[in-house]
A and B are shown apart, each in its own frame.
Chain A
Amino acid sequence: MKRHTKNKLLVALSASVLLPFSTPILAEETAAPDMSKWVCKLCAISGGWFGEWELGLILVDQPTPRFADYRGLDDEGFYLKADGNARYLDEKGYYFDFYSRNLGLDSRMLDMRGGKQGSFELRAGYSEIPRYLGYGTVTPYLGVGTDTLVLPEDWSISGGNAFMAPTSLESKRKTLDAGATIKLGRSWRILAEYERQTRDGTRTFGGGVFPFNAAMFPGPLDYTTNLFDVGLEYAGKRGQARLEFSGSEFDNGFSSVTWDSPYARGFGDEVSRSALAPDNKYSRVSLAAAFRFSQRFKVSGKAYMGKAKQNVAFLPYSINPRYEDRELPRQSLDGKVETSMYNISGRAYLRLADRLDLTAQYKKDERDNKTPIDIYSPILLEVSSSDPRSNRPYSYDRQKGAIELRYRPTYNIRLNAGAKRTKLERTYQEVRKNTEDAYWGELQLTPWAWLDARLKYEDLTRDSSEHEQEGNYDRAEHPLMRKYNMADRDRKRFALQFDLSPAERLGVSLSYYKTDDDYKNSEIGLTEGNETNFNLDINYAFGKHSTVYGFYSRERIKSQLAGAPKPAATPWNSSTDDKIETWGLGIAGRIDDKTTYGVDYVKSVANGNILTETGDGEPPFPTLYSNLQRLQLSLNHKFNDRWGFGLNFLKEEYDSSNWQVDGFGPLDINGVLTMGDVSPEYDAWAMSVFATLNF
């Protein structure tokens, strides 16, 4: 009996101690309520079609290539405005979802998906991205858009300007995609995706011609990439996994481009030929998984193995008939080329105590280039035989280990700290191994409900293994050159962020970031880098449904570098200073239940200053400058639940200057035939008037 009483006491003790702490767990496991009265009669599940369409006209005034770029508004006049979405649902769970934008423009995109919810989904989409890059571009070449560009028969450099004809640099990327997801039971899914990207048109292309000259022209683009991805996914309460097989196949419709040399001297340098991006194939199998051992301990990881292949037949060493007998070591990369990548990453998330979390991560990323190495005997610029040399298939092995502690002593304070080591080992480069150690600490405070503050500091030190001169084939690099991606570097990062709500309807966000890089052992090359970034956002809600907002961003990117033409020469120095300031101001809201409006103005001014000095008192370069101003107005009014109208207005002004191109005609740069680009400048607007249909 006495023993029995003791047992009861223990049960009572256990129950009373455990119950308050176990409430959340019990809550999850609470028996389902009596749902017999949960009829959901107020739920607006009606099924059928619903959506919104905007149909109307867009009027464009004084467009320029830069204004048209990405938008597709390249001609003055009227365009069709057609945007809309529609969704269908039925009581059996079948659905169809359609989303579209800019259907009347060259920047159109649409997405469709449908299926039975909880069972399967089929998807299809299409999009276009137009590019207009030429600004005042001209060329004397005939055959633009093909892989053979020829100069007029009586071409001469001295009279070349007479042959210049306007040419555009336009291309269009089209993407077609389709996919499916099939659910197999509660936890399994099969996923399949296919995407076909094409890119046609022209882009700036060029190349050197003998001896130190160059020619630029509109080179042809005809890219096709097919991508696919199939996967099997398991998603359970405690464990998830996804096995995927994906691939990419790139096909270039042009394997080379041939062009007449404008500077030909008549000894075999009349025609030049370049290889264009070769076809390639890539395939990969990956496995990602996560498992929750408990609420306090979770592990996730991913591993993949991929292969990239490229086996396009080589062009001969030169198009110059004098070298047509020169034998290649192989006719192509011979199909044995493999670039394999292995990536193993994992992270463990461990809750050490109620307020203390630990995350540990390891990642290995390897590029193992198995391209065969051979000796080649290049003919430079079609006429100059150079010393034999071997190709260098670069490989690397990157490993990263990181640990992060997060401690939250109170609800209002968070202290985070971490350490990371990154190791990068390379082949065939001056520095075989870099090790970077990083340590950081972060304080997050919420002293009052209206203030969130974050302060973070990070210190990184990168060390390199012994520097070994790899040479630059023809000419060795300066012995003191330290390439910036491998050089010893001390980096310090600082971040400060405030989110304030000083009044009920007022929000202020302020952030400041600073990064200082010191390439401490670099005498030639990049020696210093510095970036600062300041951002301010303010928004204020007024009336019932209106908000006024503004932002200001200021970014400054500075660097110092040194160079020297030869070891004995006095080094020269160069400093760069990019400053970008962006302002924005807007108001958006609702006048009444039927009318909404918006005004949005943005101004972005970018300046780039460069000073390169040899000690002779050279002045700085003229400032690189651009000034974008964009004003957008919108007004929407609903006549009734179904019909309405809208008005959008876009005005954009752009002004820029670039000393690399401004003031130079296509033949004005000594030894370089350009396309005569000038810095873009425009003042264009577009206005659309449209009807809206809601259904």
Chain B
Amino acid sequence: MKIRLTTLPTLVLIMAFLAALPAYLAAEEYSSKGADTCLMCHKAAKWGVMPIFKTKHGSQVDQDAPFSNMQCEACHGPSNEHAKAKKKSEVHPKITFSEDSEVPVTQQNEVCLGCHESHNMGWFGSRHESADVGCASCHAVHEERDPMFDPLTQQETCFQCHQSNRAATFKPYGHPLRFGSMACSSCHNVHDGNSDFLLVEDNVNDTCYSCHAEKRGPYLWEHAPVTESCSLCHEPHGSNHPAMLTKRPPLLCQQCHSASDHPGEAYTSEDIGGRTNSRFLLARGCMNCHSQVHGSNHPSGSSQMR
């Protein structure tokens, strides 16, 4: 028998094809009864999946909801192999969602973004995407109430990575996160990398103005750093100084003001008691007189005193 030059590669290729085929077929097979296959085991309370039927994901009416089409496998992918496996802990569904999953985070997130398409707008290349944060790292879709939608439970999730910000909520002066009156998402849009610091608005000041609109002005006599960034003087996550200032006046102000006479004077501990200079140091320091530090609309307010 004459062996042609092309025969050997053909055989190799056929073998490769056959080798790939079982894995391909096995990986792509859906379960025979959909969610009923999964829930045979996973309806037990310890798995914590049944509350999903009290959420939007569990709807069988909304055509975009997982349970109106591929049910569990809409998110977890074809899972027949897992269903049939004797040792189920060794054969996982095609997609599993956790930080320990063998499935790359990008692939996990693609499942979510496949339906929540609007989040694609700022997600790719954003700080969280770069850090391989999975949707499931924060969101718990099987729970009756996703913790990310409650201000108190949301911050606990954020603090798992942003530990210093948890401590900051206990500082003497801060926003009311620990009371649940604000959430991290009041200021941050963690899905959008187009804004600075993943803020809800495009820059720091616009974010602050969404609650503190009185600071927007424009004022007749503007205070220059205020227009540039509120964070030049304030530490929004919490501070050791009143009004979340980064320092205490007069030193805060003296970082920029050193004109002759009282702005440039040294105010030392010896000025605490009774001397003339105490008026520039005690109580609110410079702001005893210059109370309009965010700007003044008074024609005589050029020194931010009116």
Give the residues from 1 to 39 in chain B that come closer than 8 angstroms, CB to CB, to chain A. Answer: 6, 9-10, 13-14, 16-17, 20-21, 23-24, 27-28, 30, 32-36, 39
A643: which B residues are within 8 A, CB to CB?
A: none
How long is the Cα–Cα vector from A361 to B211 in the complex, in angstroms? 29
Give the residues from 1 to 58 in chain A that come closer than 8 angstroms, CB to CB, to chain B. Answer: 5-6, 9, 12-13, 15-17, 19-20, 23, 26-27, 30, 32-33, 35, 37-46, 50
Give the residues from 235 to 265 in chain A that come closer than 8 angstroms, CB to CB, to chain B. Answer: 235-237, 240-242, 248, 250, 252, 256
Q: Verify B130–A406 contact, CB threshold 8 A.
A: yes
A23 to chain B: closest CB distance in Å?
5
- For residue B269, CB closer than 8 A to chain A, the reply is yes
Q: Verify A300–B121 contact, CB threshold 8 A.
A: yes
B207: which A residues are within 8 A, CB to CB?
A: none
Q: Verify B258–A481 contact, CB threshold 8 A.
A: yes
Give the residues from 170 to 219 in chain B that come closer than 8 angstroms, CB to CB, to chain A. Answer: 170-172, 176, 179-181, 193-195, 202-203, 206, 209-211, 213-219
User: Which of A145-153, A161-169, A601-609, A682-690 forms contacts with chain B?
Assistant: A601-609
Q: Which of B30, B40, B268, B294 contacts A618 (CB 8 A)?
A: B268
Q: Verify B247–A288 contact, CB threshold 8 A.
A: no
A97 to chain B: closest CB distance in Å?
9
Q: Verify A314–B171 contact, CB threshold 8 A.
A: no
A189: which B residues are within 8 A, CB to CB?
A: 118
How long is the Cα–Cα vector from A580 to B170 in the complex, in angstroms? 10
B263 to chain A: closest CB distance in Å?
7
How long is the Cα–Cα vector from A39 to B37 in the complex, in angstroms? 10
Q: Verify B261–A660 contact, CB threshold 8 A.
A: no
- Which residue of chain A has its CB nearest to the CB of B176? A70
Contact (A404, B130) CB under 8 Å given A240-B117, A361-B125, A561-B251: yes
Bitwise interface map of A from 623 to 642 toward B, beta carbon under 8 Å scored 1, else 0:
01010101000000000000
A300 to chain B: closest CB distance in Å?
6
How long is the Cα–Cα vector from A174 to B224 in the complex, in angstroms? 31
How long is the Cα–Cα vector from A302 to B121 in the complex, in angstroms? 9
What does DSSP make chain B's interface, helix, strand, loop or mixed? loop
- For residue A423, CB closer than 8 A to chain B, the reply is no
- For residue A109, CB closer than 8 A to chain B, the reply is yes
Q: Verify A9–B10 contact, CB threshold 8 A.
A: yes
Q: Verify A302–B194 contact, CB threshold 8 A.
A: yes
Q: Verify B222–A19 contact, CB threshold 8 A.
A: no
Q: Verify A237–B263 contact, CB threshold 8 A.
A: no
**Contact-size category for A:** 35 or more
- Which residue of chain B has its CB nearest to the CB of A404? B130
- For residue A277, CB closer than 8 A to chain B, the reply is yes
Bitwise interface map of A from 565 to 590 toward B, beta carbon under 8 Å scored 1, else 0:
11001001010101010101000000
Instruction: Give the most central of A16, A197, A213: most B CB within 10 Å.
Output: A16
Q: Verify A26–B24 contact, CB threshold 8 A.
A: yes
Give the residues from 279 to 305 in chain B that come closer than 8 angstroms, CB to CB, to chain A. Answer: 279, 281-285, 287-292, 294, 296-303, 305
Q: Verify A19–B24 contact, CB threshold 8 A.
A: yes
- For residue A81, CB closer than 8 A to chain B, the reply is no
Give the residues from 339 to 392 in chain A that come closer than 8 angstroms, CB to CB, to chain B. Answer: 339, 341, 343, 345, 347-349, 359, 361, 363, 365, 367, 369, 371, 376, 378-382, 386, 389, 391-392
- For residue B78, CB closer than 8 A to chain A, the reply is yes
Q: Verify A212–B279 contact, CB threshold 8 A.
A: yes
Q: Verify A93–B117 contact, CB threshold 8 A.
A: no
- For residue A547, CB closer than 8 A to chain B, the reply is no
Contact (A23, B291) CB under 8 Å given A300-B194, A333-B220, A563-B264: no
A328: which B residues are within 8 A, CB to CB?
A: 299
- For residue B241, CB closer than 8 A to chain A, the reply is yes
Give the residues from 92 to 126 in chain B that come closer than 8 angstroms, CB to CB, to chain A. Answer: 94, 100, 114, 117-118, 120-122, 124-125
Bitwise interface map of A from 218 to 240 toward B, beta carbon under 8 Å scored 1, else 0:
00000101010000010111001
- Which residue of chain B has its CB nearest to the CB of A347? B125
Q: Verify B268–A602 contact, CB threshold 8 A.
A: no
Contact (A380, B305) CB under 8 Å given A89-B54, A485-B225: yes
A343: which B residues are within 8 A, CB to CB?
A: 202-203
How long is the Cα–Cα vector from A176 to B110 in the complex, in angstroms? 36
Q: Verify B124–A43 contact, CB threshold 8 A.
A: no
Give the residues from 128 to 177 in chain B that come closer than 8 angstroms, CB to CB, to chain A. Answer: 130, 144-145, 150, 160, 163-164, 166-168, 170-172, 176
B214 to chain A: closest CB distance in Å?
4
- For residue A171, CB closer than 8 A to chain B, the reply is no
How long is the Cα–Cα vector from A557 to B210 in the complex, in angstroms? 29
- For residue B86, CB closer than 8 A to chain A, the reply is no
Q: Verify B305–A381 contact, CB threshold 8 A.
A: yes
Instruction: Give the most central of B202, B258, B279, B294: most A CB within 10 Å.
Output: B258
Q: Verify A533–B288 contact, CB threshold 8 A.
A: no
How long is the Cα–Cα vector from A87 to B54 in the complex, in angstroms? 8
Q: Verify B292–A553 contact, CB threshold 8 A.
A: no
- For residue A459, CB closer than 8 A to chain B, the reply is no
- For residue A144, CB closer than 8 A to chain B, the reply is no
**Contact-size category for B:** 35 or more
How long is the Cα–Cα vector from A168 to B22 in the complex, in angstroms? 77
Q: Verify B20–A19 contact, CB threshold 8 A.
A: yes
How long is the Cα–Cα vector from A328 to B299 in the complex, in angstroms? 8
B63: which A residues are within 8 A, CB to CB?
A: 118
Give the residues from 99 to 135 in chain A that come closer than 8 angstroms, CB to CB, to chain B. Answer: 99, 101, 107, 109, 117-118, 127, 129
Q: Verify A619–B269 contact, CB threshold 8 A.
A: yes
A335: which B residues are within 8 A, CB to CB?
A: none
Contact (A472, B283) CB under 8 Å given A109-B181, A208-B289, A626-B172: no
B292: which A residues are within 8 A, CB to CB?
A: 207, 274-275
Contact (A242, B118) CB under 8 Å given A302-B202, A481-B256: yes
Q: Which of B121, B145, B219 contacts A289 (CB 8 A)?
A: B121
- For residue B87, CB closer than 8 A to chain A, the reply is no
Q: Verify B254–A561 contact, CB threshold 8 A.
A: yes
A15: which B residues are within 8 A, CB to CB?
A: 17
- Which residue of chain B has its CB nearest to the CB of A390? B302
How long is the Cα–Cα vector from A317 to B180 in the complex, in angstroms? 44
Q: Verify B281–A27 contact, CB threshold 8 A.
A: no
Q: Verify B218–A484 contact, CB threshold 8 A.
A: no
Contact (A555, B33) CB under 8 Å given A207-B305, A391-B221, A672-B283: no
- Which residue of chain A has its CB nearest to the CB of B259? A475
A498 to chain B: closest CB distance in Å?
12
Q: Verify B225–A555 contact, CB threshold 8 A.
A: no
- Which residue of chain A has its CB nearest to the CB of B80? A33
Q: Which of A252, A316, A670 contacts B299 (CB 8 A)?
A: A316
- For residue B84, CB closer than 8 A to chain A, the reply is no
How long is the Cα–Cα vector from A619 to B32 in the complex, in angstroms? 81
B272 to chain A: closest CB distance in Å?
6
How long is the Cα–Cα vector from A485 to B222 in the complex, in angstroms? 16
Q: Which of B27, B181, B269, B278 contacts A27 (CB 8 A)?
A: B27
A540 to chain B: closest CB distance in Å?
15
Give the residues from 236 to 279 in chain B that come closer than 8 angstroms, CB to CB, to chain A. Answer: 240-241, 247-248, 251, 254-270, 272, 274-276, 278-279
Contact (A207, B220) CB under 8 Å given A45-B60, A359-B125, A376-B299: no
Q: Which of B17, B217, B220, B278 contacts A280 (CB 8 A)?
A: B217
3 A-B pairs closest in CB distance: A208-B289, A38-B34, A93-B61
List residues of chain B with CB under 8 Å of any chain A CB: 6, 9-10, 13-14, 16-17, 20-21, 23-24, 27-28, 30, 32-36, 39-40, 43, 50, 53-54, 56, 58-65, 67, 70-71, 77-78, 94, 100, 114, 117-118, 120-122, 124-125, 130, 144-145, 150, 160, 163-164, 166-168, 170-172, 176, 179-181, 193-195, 202-203, 206, 209-211, 213-222, 224-225, 227-229, 232, 240-241, 247-248, 251, 254-270, 272, 274-276, 278-279, 281-285, 287-292, 294, 296-303, 305-306
Known: A27-B77, A107-B179, A304-B202. 11 other contacts (CB 8 A): A19-B17, A212-B279, A227-B213, A273-B298, A274-B305, A280-B217, A315-B298, A378-B301, A426-B224, A582-B166, A618-B268
User: What are 12 A-B interface contacts by the 8 Å CB criterion?
Assistant: A38-B34, A89-B54, A107-B179, A242-B121, A300-B124, A328-B299, A347-B193, A428-B224, A474-B259, A569-B264, A604-B167, A670-B279
